[in-house]
Amino acid sequence: MQFQSKQFIKILFISIFFISAYNIQAQDGYKVTLKVKGKTDSSIILGNYWADRTVAFDTGYYNAKKKEWVFEGNEKAPRGVYFMIFRDMSHFEFVMNDKQHFSISTDTVDFYTKNLTFEGSDENNRFAKYQQTTGDFGMRLYAINGKMASAADEIEKKKLVDERNALNDERTAYMENFLKENPNDILCKILGAMRPVDVPEIFKADGKTIDTMVQYQYYKSHYWDNFDFKEEALIRSPQNFVFNKINTFFLSVIPQHPDSIIDFADNILKQTNGNRELDKYFIFRITQIYDTLQMMCMDKPFVYLVDNYYLKGRAFWADSATLERMKEAADKRRYTVCGEIALDLNHYDMFNKAQRLYEHRGSKYTIIVFYDPTCGHCRTELPILHKIYEEKKKEGWGVYAIATSNKKTEWEKYIKEENPTWNDWTNVCDVVPYQEWVDNRKAYNITANPTIMLLDSKGKIIARKIPAENILEFVERYEKAPEKFR
């Protein structure tokens, strides 16, 4: 499991966030000694992986008398894959299991792996042997591919293809046997968790057509089968493994519906509960996805995760200031979550008369648009909205258009002089500084102009931050299957 040395130009030094979950006292701690033939004065860092990051764990010291580096601590190191990285960014990997007193001997041949041996750690000797063997398979396959590129004819090429297939089969058999013989090794737990779901052929009733929907359900149901939620070492595995596995599941595998996302998040977090390291990262990463995801109606999972995990004690690593920030972020979004009834608004029209949103709701749909009359993108979107309104107003559609930023003069010019026909919908302006506290303006959490929302006949939010050109298409899909948007 090699990685590019460029990733280590900026090694992150270990922080409170990374060590908070394993503050467990241990009598014997850890002690690792390292001898490298041909190196005596190089700076070496002992590091580990943590989700999508690399972390400097210990710098150790050099014992000139014994010609070895020593890394030791009074507390046990957390389980996982570690690395020794040298000044020139070269490195090699090993594991920290529960036996953490051992010695390492190597040289610089083949990136320190060819002659890498461990005294006092059988698991690491197996780890090293696995790397050496799979590395040898890789070199042999590389050589065959090189010969294929210059094969004289199809006969020679077919011979090389057969040779490559046989070698791949041999490599697969070796890896399968290694996993079978060493199921409790950290490496095997990582490799097992990385294995893709083996989806069987599943046919429809005709016995000939593959039922892709059933296959998808099978894949989704078995996605986490080989992931040991009790093994904290998985969080310290290379290649951004846990980070990528979470992202793939939540962004590509499960239905992108807020309630479905919440259900899947709850089910997974039931399994991580009790493993502080995995629990911490899964809660953090899933919440982060829906905090930053630029997709319509995806605020609901974020609000739910903050309310039910951060604010109910599961986020043990978060201090009071962090929890307060998370609460504030959730509070800003909770009133405009899709599925909620929109709060009323009350702003003034050009005749300084207050106009309430709920007095101008359409009998079928209502578009609310927040915009800046001087914003270029707003000037592109508003004409599209007015065209939709002209087509749909007889069907019970309404529009409540609120100009923001206290730009009353610009707003009046924009409506009266540039778009005089737009008085057929409700035009208001945010002109009273304290008004946001009175009419729920602040609860709408407008962070960009324009922001367009769509309400159903009962005032329920069914779309938020939707582009004007997508509204009619969205409504068509919504009317065919409204349950998918609840």
If asked whether residues 95 and 142 sit together in one domain, one would say: no
pLDDT of residue 42: 72
Q: Which residues pair with 34 in a beta bridge?
A: 69, 104
Any domain includes 297: yes
**For 275-372, where are the E strands, in sequence order?**
346-348, 354-356, 365-371
R_g over Cα of the chain = 30
If asked whether residues 25 and 69 sit together in one domain, one would say: yes
State how many domains the chain has: 4
Cβ neighbours for 262, distance < 8 A, ≥ 6 positions apart: 300, 301, 304, 305
If asked whether residues 183 and 161 sit together in one domain, one would say: yes
If asked whether residues 15 and 103 sit together in one domain, one would say: yes
Give the domain CATH number at 44: 2.60.40
If asked whether residues 254 and 310 sit together in one domain, one would say: yes
User: CB burial class (10 A; 0-12, 13-18, 19+) of residue 113?
Assistant: middle
Q: What is the mean pLDDT of the chain?
A: 89
Any domain includes 230: no
pLDDT of residue 438: 45
pLDDT of residue 9: 34
Ranges of the chain whose pLDDT falls below 70: 1-27, 41, 405, 431-442, 484-486
Instruction: Please provide residue 48's backbone torsions phi and psi, each rounded to the nearest 5 degrees.
Output: -145, 175
Residue 46 near residue 71, CB atoms below 8 Å: yes
If asked whether residues 323 and 352 sit together in one domain, one would say: no
pLDDT of residue 7: 40
Give the domain extent around 86: 5-120
Q: Is the dihedral of CA 247, 253, 257, 259 positive or negative?
A: negative
Dist CA 230 CA 324 (whole Å): 30
Any domain includes 103: yes
Any domain includes 356: yes
Dist CA 191 CA 226 (whole Å): 9
pLDDT of residue 24: 40
Helices (H), 198-257: 212-221, 241-248
Any domain includes 97: yes
pLDDT tens digits along 416-464: 888 888 888 999 988 665 454 444 556 888 888 999 999 999 999 999 9
Q: How many Cα neighbours within 13 Å face the side chain of 339?
A: 16
Last residue of a domain, one of 95, 120, 145: 120
